């Protein structure tokens, strides 16, 4: 009897200890859950703490992140925290930057050549253009258009550029004669404009050829375009020793007409016209909102469908309708005319000397 009583006491103590262990485990789990729950609301880095502190003073957190990225090493956080009161109390420059209008999107459209012989040149030219666009200030969207058979190689190249891009393709076939006549490039530009219109990509559209050369300041001036912008373009033909310059004739920055000037080996011939039959695609840019303007479809009669349904022809026509809506680039584009006149005068003197 005594032996059975001892075993009963041991079993009771074992059940009591097991119940206490279970309660401790449950309490421990609850504490861990509560701590993890509240830890999720805490900032995860020093930059988040500083962002919250500066935001309390009326300065956006994006400027803090930008400041952290431009400073150097471990001194970044210490410097920012040490001068936090100065940033919050008297940040005139930061306040001005916070209220500044963001830069508009620049949509750069590049067409390609589908000839097999040009595949190697295309890859090299795309790489060169990518390096140029990477130097331009964001936001920038690069739209590359090409035929379907050329897509895989170009897709691999575009993924390594570090640029925001759209890679568009089409299945239409063009002969070598069509490509030489510019029909394929015209179709590619319409594919790009159709994509921009469909997705309402608001920004300034620029047609950049693979052989074009740009000054980085040019991209900044493009973003100032509200409707249309135009500039002189120099064209050098292969096998011909001459340069043809075409573009807007300006008075200060106001466009008053159009000019075409030929600097050839046998002399210089110049001609100025009020309105050319067509604007070079590489000589103008425009605000993309023109593409979905409700007045577009009623602007031209139904007897001229190309001017309203063909997006590229429509834009080329509209830019010539009213020069008051066209911004001359550079800001004082009349200086270009002076340089051309000086070039013409020098060439005439050289001919007299010979």
Report d(CA 35, CA 39) in Å as an integer. Answer: 6
The full DSSP string for 214-258 is --HHHHHHHTT-SSEEE--EEEE-TT--EEEEEEEEEETTEEEEE
> Domain boundaries in the chain?
106-232+280-325
CATH of 106-232+280-325, one of 3.90.550.10, 3.90.950.10, 3.20.20.70, 3.40.1230.10: 3.90.550.10
Question: For all residues of the chain together, what is the average pLDDT?
Answer: 73
At 137-161, the pLDDT tens digits run 999 999 999 998 888 989 999 999 9
Average pLDDT over residues 32-41: 76
Of the chain, the end-to-end C-alpha distance in Å amounts to 139
- Whether the predicted model's global pTM rises above the 0.75 cut: no
The full DSSP string for 286-321 is EEGGGGG-TTHHHHS-TT-THHHHSHHHHHHHHTTT
At 222-261, the pLDDT tens digits run 999 999 999 988 887 667 777 888 888 887 778 888 888 8
Which pair of structure tokens corresponds to residue 195?
Answer: 């994509």
Q: Is the dihedral of CA 326, 327, 329, 334 positive or negative?
A: positive
Query: Higher pLDDT residue, 108 or 91?
Result: 108
Q: How does residue 346 score in pLDDT terms, banded at 50, 70 and 90?
A: very low
Average pLDDT over residues 193-198: 96
Q: Which of 199, 235, 200, 207 is nearest to 145 (CA)?
A: 207
**Residue 41 C-alpha from the chain's centroid:** 36
At 205-215, the pLDDT tens digits run 999 999 888 98
Query: Higher pLDDT residue, 158 or 275?
Result: 158
Beta pairing partners, 326? 228
At 97-139, the pLDDT tens digits run 444 678 999 999 999 977 655 667 888 999 999 999 999 999 9
């Amino acid at each position: 009897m005594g032996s059975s009583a001892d075993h009963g006491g041991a079993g009771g103590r074992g059940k009591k200890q097991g119940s206490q262990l279970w309660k401790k485990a449950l309490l421990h789990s609850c504490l861990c859950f509560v701590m993890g729950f509240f830890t999720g609301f805490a900032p995860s880095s020093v930059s988040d703490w500083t962002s919250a502190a500066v935001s309390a003073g009326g300065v956006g957190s994006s400027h803090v992140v930008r400041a952290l990225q431009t400073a150097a090493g471990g001194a970044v956080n210490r410097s920012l925290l040490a001068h936090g009161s100065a940033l919050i109390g008297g940040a005139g420059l930061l306040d001005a930057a916070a209220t500044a209008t963001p830069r508009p999107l620049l949509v750069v459209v590049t067409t390609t050549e589908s000839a097999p012989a040009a595949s190697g040149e295309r890859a090299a030219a795309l790489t060169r253009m990518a390096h140029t666009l990477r130097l331009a200030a964001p936001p920038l969207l690069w739209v590359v258009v090409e035929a379907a058979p050329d897509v895989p190689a170009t897709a691999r190249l575009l993924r390594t550029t570090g640029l925001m891009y759209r890679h568009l393709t089409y299945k239409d076939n063009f002969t070598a004669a069509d490509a030489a006549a510019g029909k394929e490039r015209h179709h590619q530009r319409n594919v790009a404009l159709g994509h921009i219109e469909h997705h309402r990509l608001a920004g300034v559209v620029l047609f950049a050829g693979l052989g074009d050369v740009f000054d980085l300041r040019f991209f900044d001036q493009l973003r100032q375009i509200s409707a249309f912008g135009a500039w002189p373009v120099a064209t050098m033909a292969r096998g011909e020793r001459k340069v043809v310059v075409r573009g807007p004739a300006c008075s200060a920055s106001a466009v008053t007409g159009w000019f075409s000037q030929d600097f050839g080996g046998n002399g210089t011939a110049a001609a100025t016209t009020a309105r050319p039959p067509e604007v070079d695609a590489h000589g103008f840019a425009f605000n993309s909102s023109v593409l979905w303007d409700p007045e577009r479809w009623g602007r031209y009669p139904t007897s001229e469908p190309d001017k309203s349904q063909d997006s590229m022809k429509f834009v080329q026509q509209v830019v010539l309708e009213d020069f008051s809506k066209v911004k001359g680039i550079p800001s004082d584009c009349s200086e270009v005319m002076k340089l051309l006149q000086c070039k013409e005068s020098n060439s005439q003197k050289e001919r007299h000397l010979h």
